[in-house]
């Protein structure tokens, strides 16, 4: 792990003990095992890992269900030969995709098996490949798109970038290109979704990643599946680090960066823009620059679905002075294999930090009994109702009595079903942390 301006995300970026194996915060004791060669600096690294093991298991099971259904469709007497061939091509590609995803996620699972079934409605499969298209755009066919966005960023830059943090980098191409083209002294490129980062990390190591693209609107039968052998000669060069981290609880000390770049991020992080602005402000030194580029497709409550005018006002109210702002139309996900593409109107601004941000509105608090598994789990009506949705959910909910904690339930499950209690404890936290909204 690079020794730059990183530290414990739970302790205001306090330096980690890098001599410890894995790196550890000497104040709070949290250990931060890397994911393959990616530093993983999430505030609750064990929960993050358990959630993604859980999602991987859900993705694997969901893929199997789809494959069974499609195989039956292909075998149906009424299927045209062409239909059968098309469905069989999709089945074969999905089988290969599942294997490749499992291979990529070995760095996350470390061989650990998911013991608990996914909660009904947890949506793990959708989460896992949510940014799959970004991978192809960044590393297969999207050079023109990345160049267009980089040009918008470049236009905003008036001084050396110094130390740069790039937030929500996805598959990372823009961050890599900005590092190469604009020469920051150091770049921390972070995201909390492992899939695109795992692909990018392997490509940067010179490996090949084989993934199928399923174009939204294929031009022909042959184009229903496009197999990509992803590899890249592009390298960011010294001073660049991809890391798993949460930009809203980042592993950086206050005032440790000269520039923060937020590409396609402010509307995608599911938080009030004021929280994003305060988090960016915190890590920037006074006089440092926030570079933003992306659309405003907030999917939030009406009150926080801001327009660009509100974004400018809230940026100014968060300790920034707007230096430049503009609007561009750029191509988005223009896959040569698809008849469907978008033009996105992106808003960009450069803003200089002139003061610390006022305290943002309180963030949606993590449930205390998930954050601290020794606290009692309140037995609520929605949880009881949720327990009726599957046999497994029912058996977990039946162990709750309003007093028992996650640790107690894990111990009980260990006793009843012979599970290893510490392992089941993390998986149980992930089970509850990924329940659909409104259940907990």
Ligand X SMILES: C[S@@+](CC[C@H](N)C(=O)[O-])C[C@H]1O[C@@H](n2cnc3c(N)ncnc32)[C@H](O)[C@@H]1O
Which residues contact ligand X (rule: CB under 6 A)?
A: 131, 134, 167-170, 174, 190-193, 196, 246-248, 263-265, 268-269
CB of 115 to ligand X, least distance (A): 26
Residue among 273 and 386 whose Cβ is closer to ligand X: 273
Residue among 36 and 196 whose Cβ is closer to ligand X: 196
CB of 416 to ligand X, least distance (A): 37
Residue among 134 and 224 whose Cβ is closer to ligand X: 134
Please name the residue ranges forming H helices in 183-329.
194-204, 273-283, 308-316
Residue among 165 and 351 whose Cβ is closer to ligand X: 165
CA gap 190, 241 in Å, rounded: 8
CB of 292 to ligand X, least distance (A): 11
Selection from 113, 8, 3, 94 nearest residue 56 by Cα: 113
Residue among 40 and 397 whose Cβ is closer to ligand X: 40
Residue among 263 and 425 whose Cβ is closer to ligand X: 263
Token look-up 């590609």 returns 93
Crossing angle of the two packed helices 173-182 and 194-204, in degrees rounded to 10:
50
CA atoms within 13 A on the CB side of 114: 26
CB of 199 to ligand X, least distance (A): 12
CA gap 2, 20 in Å, rounded: 14
Residue among 32 and 419 whose Cβ is closer to ligand X: 32
CB of 214 to ligand X, least distance (A): 18
Tokens of 395: 């058996």
Cα radius of gyration (the chain): 23
Please name the residue ranges forming H helices in 229-345.
273-283, 308-316
CA gap 357, 273 in Å, rounded: 13
CB of 45 to ligand X, least distance (A): 14
CB of 391 to ligand X, least distance (A): 33
Tokens of 112: 């650990």
Residue among 107 and 246 whose Cβ is closer to ligand X: 246
CA gap 152, 351 in Å, rounded: 15
Q: Does the CA dihedral 421-123-135-351 come out positive or negative?
A: negative
How many helices and strands in the chain, by DSSP H and E? 15, 9
Residue among 99 and 363 whose Cβ is closer to ligand X: 363
CB of 190 to ligand X, least distance (A): 6
- Measured at the alpha carbon of residue 43, what is the angle toward residues 42 and 45, in degrees to the nearest 5? 55
Residue among 262 and 289 whose Cβ is closer to ligand X: 262
Token look-up 């980042």 returns 250
What residues are paired with 331 via a beta bridge? 343
89's CB contacts (< 8 A; 6+ apart) are 224, 225
Backbone angles phi, psi at 172, to 5 degrees: 90, 0
CB of 397 to ligand X, least distance (A): 30
CB of 130 to ligand X, least distance (A): 7
CA gap 346, 155 in Å, rounded: 14
Tokens of 136: 């192809």
């Amino acid at each position: 792990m690079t020794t730059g301006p990183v530290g414990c995300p739970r302790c205001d970026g306090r330096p980690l003990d890098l001599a410890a194996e894995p790196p550890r915060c000497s104040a709070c004791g949290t250990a931060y095992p890397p994911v393959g060669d990616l530093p993983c600096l999430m505030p609750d690294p064990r929960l993050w890992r358990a959630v993604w093991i859980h999602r991987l298991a859900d993705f694997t099971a969901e893929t199997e269900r789809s494959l069974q259904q499609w195989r039956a469709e292909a075998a149906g007497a009424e299927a045209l030969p062409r239909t059968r061939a098309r469905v069989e091509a999709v089945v074969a590609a999905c089988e290969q995709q599942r294997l490749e995803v499992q291979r990529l996620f070995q760095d996350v699972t470390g061989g650990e098996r998911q013991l608990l079934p996914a909660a009904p409605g947890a949506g793990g499969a959708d989460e896992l490949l949510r940014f799959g298209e970004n991978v192809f755009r960044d590393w297969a066919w999207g050079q023109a798109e990345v160049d267009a966005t980089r040009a918008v960023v470049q236009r905003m830059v008036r001084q050396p970038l110094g130390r740069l943090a790039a937030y929500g980098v996805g598959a990372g191409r823009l961050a890599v290109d900005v590092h190469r083209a604009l020469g920051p002294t150091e770049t921390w490129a972070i995201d909390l979704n492992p899939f695109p980062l795992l692909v990018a990390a392997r490509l940067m190591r010179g490996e090949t990643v084989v993934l199928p693209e399923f174009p939204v609107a294929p031009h022909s039968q042959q184009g229903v599946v496009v197999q990509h052998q992803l590899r890249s000669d592009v390298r960011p060069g010294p001073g660049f680090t991809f890391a798993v981290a949460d930009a809203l609880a980042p592993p950086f000390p206050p005032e440790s960066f000269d520039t923060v770049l937020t590409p396609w991020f402010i509307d995608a992080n599911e938080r009030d823009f004021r929280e994003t602005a305060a988090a960016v402000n915190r890590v920037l030194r006074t006089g440092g620059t926030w570079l933003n580029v992306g659309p405003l497709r907030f999917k939030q409550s009406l009150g926080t679905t801001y327009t660009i005018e509100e974004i400018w006002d809230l940026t100014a109210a968060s300790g920034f002075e707007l230096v430049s702002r503009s609007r561009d139309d750029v191509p988005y996900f223009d896959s040569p294999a698809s008849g469907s593409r978008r033009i996105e109107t992106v808003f960009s601004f450069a803003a200089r930090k002139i003061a610390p941000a006022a305290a943002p509105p309180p963030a949606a608090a993590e449930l205390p009994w998930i954050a601290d598994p020794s606290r009692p789990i309140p037995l609520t009506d929605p949880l009881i109702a949720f327990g009726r949705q599957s046999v497994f959910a029912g058996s977990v909910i039946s162990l709750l009595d309003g007093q028992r904690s996650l640790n107690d339930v894990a111990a009980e499950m260990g006793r009843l079903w012979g599970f290893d209690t510490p392992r089941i404890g993390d998986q149980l936290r992930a089970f509850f942390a990924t329940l659909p909204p409104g259940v907990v």
